């Protein structure tokens, strides 16, 4: 193409445009990235497409990407077949509370592990970190029994308090705190600041990006959590979105169109949170990649 354009223009008096040679690596990289994002986006589009189809069209062969008749009523149907507004409210209350509580507990404990000196600190941290190795299903029944004995079965406490503590968040924040020069603490201590004040007035303001990244992870985790809310609640008033959505999967029939419409609706807050905090989200991924710092 470039050659033909060049030849056509050769006769004119205009100075010839000299193009920078196309960087082949860049092109290849972009082709690869576009292909990658297409693979990532396909399931999303399929979900969107299925959410707008009437049941007979969902499994037709060859499959249709754009529904022949757009079934807008799947959305109101999905949202009214189950008390979706209640599920939404519950998921929001729980996710926001867990984010707030977990950031508080994790940043405090991370501060202690990173900046305070006390006997057995590193051993304690190793033990705390080792709890990450225990898969959740192993903890399910002990947690259930504890929560039940506290009288919290089928309550907000059961959904909010146990996930308010996290070794993973503590670990991320501790790594960040360790990167802040110790001179900051010393200077503050000379001025008479207590440990708590150092945490509140020095460490927290200097960790905004990391806190935001951790907050996004925690929000995502809480929003998508399935097993714990499933077993610890039973009334519809206490259910969350993922548990509510699974009701569309029956023993003999799955209402795919309603399930997908519900899933699209359930995704919106995640999408909004992601768009608002994209910068921090990507930074969060970078942090996890540098775990050993």
Partner 1 sequence: MQHKLVRVLMVVVLLAMFSSLAAAQDKAVVTWGFWGSPEEAATHTSVAEAFMEANPDIEIEIWHQPWSDYFTSLDTLWAAGDGALIPDVLFLSPPIRYAARGVLEELTPYIEAHDYDISDFWPGLLEYGTTYDEDGTRRIWGFPRDIGLEVLYYNKEIFDEVGVAYPTDDWTWDDLLAAAEQLTVVESTGRVSRYALGMEGGKFALFVLQNNGGLLDDMRNPTTCLLDSPESIEAVEFFAGMMDNNYAMRSANLGQAGGDAAVFQSGQVAMIIQNASRVSAFNAAGMNYDVVPVPIPADGQRAAAAGGAAWTMSALSDDKESAWTFLSWLQSTDGGQGIYTASGEILPALESTALSEAFLGSEENPADPPANRMAFIIEGRNAKPGGRVAYFPEWGEINGNYVRPVMNEIWAGEAVPAEVLPGVCDDVDAYLAEMNAG
The CA–CA distances, whole Å, from 119 to 109, 124, 130, 176 equal 15, 9, 19, 22
Least spacing, CB of residue 72 vs partner 1, in Å: 18
Least spacing, CB of residue 231 vs partner 1, in Å: 4
Query: In this complex, which beta carbon is closest to partner 1, that of residue 64 or of residue 126?
Result: 64
Q: Which residues 6+ apart lie within 8 Å of 286 measured at CB?
A: none
Centre a 10 Å sphere on the Cβ of residue 281 and count the other Cβ atoms it contains.
Answer: 18
Least spacing, CB of residue 194 vs partner 1, in Å: 43
Query: In this complex, which beta carbon is closest to partner 1, that of residue 148 or of residue 189?
Result: 148
Query: In this complex, which beta carbon is closest to partner 1, that of residue 74 or of residue 170?
Result: 74
Least spacing, CB of residue 227 vs partner 1, in Å: 7
Query: In this complex, which beta carbon is closest to partner 1, that of residue 82 or of residue 216?
Result: 82
- Long-range contacts of the stretch 54-61 (C-beta < 8 A, 24+): 54/257, 55/255, 55/256, 55/257, 58/256, 58/257
Query: In this complex, which beta carbon is closest to partner 1, that of residue 201 or of residue 254?
Result: 254
Least spacing, CB of residue 39 vs partner 1, in Å: 20
Least spacing, CB of residue 56 vs partner 1, in Å: 5
Question: In the numeric block, which tokens belong to residue 183?
Answer: 């001179």
Q: Are 178 and 161 in contact (CB under 8 A)?
A: no
Phi, psi of 254 (to 5 degrees): -115, 130
Least spacing, CB of residue 55 vs partner 1, in Å: 6
Query: In this complex, which beta carbon is closest to partner 1, that of residue 37 or of residue 249?
Result: 249
Query: In this complex, which beta carbon is closest to partner 1, that of residue 12 or of residue 251?
Result: 251
Least spacing, CB of residue 255 vs partner 1, in Å: 7
Q: Which residues bind partner 1 (CB under 8 A)?
A: 55-61, 81-82, 140-141, 144-145, 148, 153, 227, 230-231, 234, 236, 243, 246-256
Query: In this complex, which beta carbon is closest to partner 1, that of residue 141 or of residue 276?
Result: 141
The angle, 0 to 180 degrees and rounded to 10, between the axes of the packed helices 256-276 and 278-289 is 90
């Amino acid at each position: 193409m470039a050659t033909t354009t060049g030849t056509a223009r050769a006769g004119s008096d205009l100075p010839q445009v000299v193009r920078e040679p196309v960087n082949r690596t860049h092109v290849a990289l972009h082709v690869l990235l576009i292909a990658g994002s297409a693979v990532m986006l396909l399931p999303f589009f399929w979900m969107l497409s299925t959410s707008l189809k009437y049941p007979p069209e969902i499994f037709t062969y060859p499959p249709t990407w754009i529904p022949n008749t757009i079934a807008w009523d799947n959305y109101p149907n999905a949202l009214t077949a189950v008390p979706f507004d209640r599920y939404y409210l519950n998921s929001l209350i729980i996710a926001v509370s867990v984010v707030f509580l977990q950031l508080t507990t994790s940043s405090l404990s991370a501060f202690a592990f990173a900046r305070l000196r006390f006997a057995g600190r590193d051993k304690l941290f190793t033990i705390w970190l080792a709890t990450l190795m225990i898969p959740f299903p192993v903890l399910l029944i002990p947690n259930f029994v504890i929560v039940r004995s506290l009288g919290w079965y089928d309550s907000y406490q059961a959904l909010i308090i146990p996930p308010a503590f996290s070794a993973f968040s503590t670990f991320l924040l501790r790594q960040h705190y360790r990167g802040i020069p110790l001179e900051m603490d010393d200077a503050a201590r000379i001025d008479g600041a207590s440990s708590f004040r150092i945490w509140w007035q020095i460490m927290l303001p200097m960790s905004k990006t990391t806190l935001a990244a951790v907050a996004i992870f925690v929000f995502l985790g809480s929003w998508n959590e399935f097993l714990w809310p499933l077993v610890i609640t039973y009334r519809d008033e206490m259910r969350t979105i993922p548990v509510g959505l699974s009701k569309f999967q029956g023993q003999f029939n799955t209402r795919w169109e309603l399930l997908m419409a519900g899933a699209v609706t359930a995704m919106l807050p995640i999408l909004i949170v992601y768009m608002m905090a994209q910068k921090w989200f990507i930074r969060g991924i970078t942090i996890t990649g540098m775990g050993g710092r």
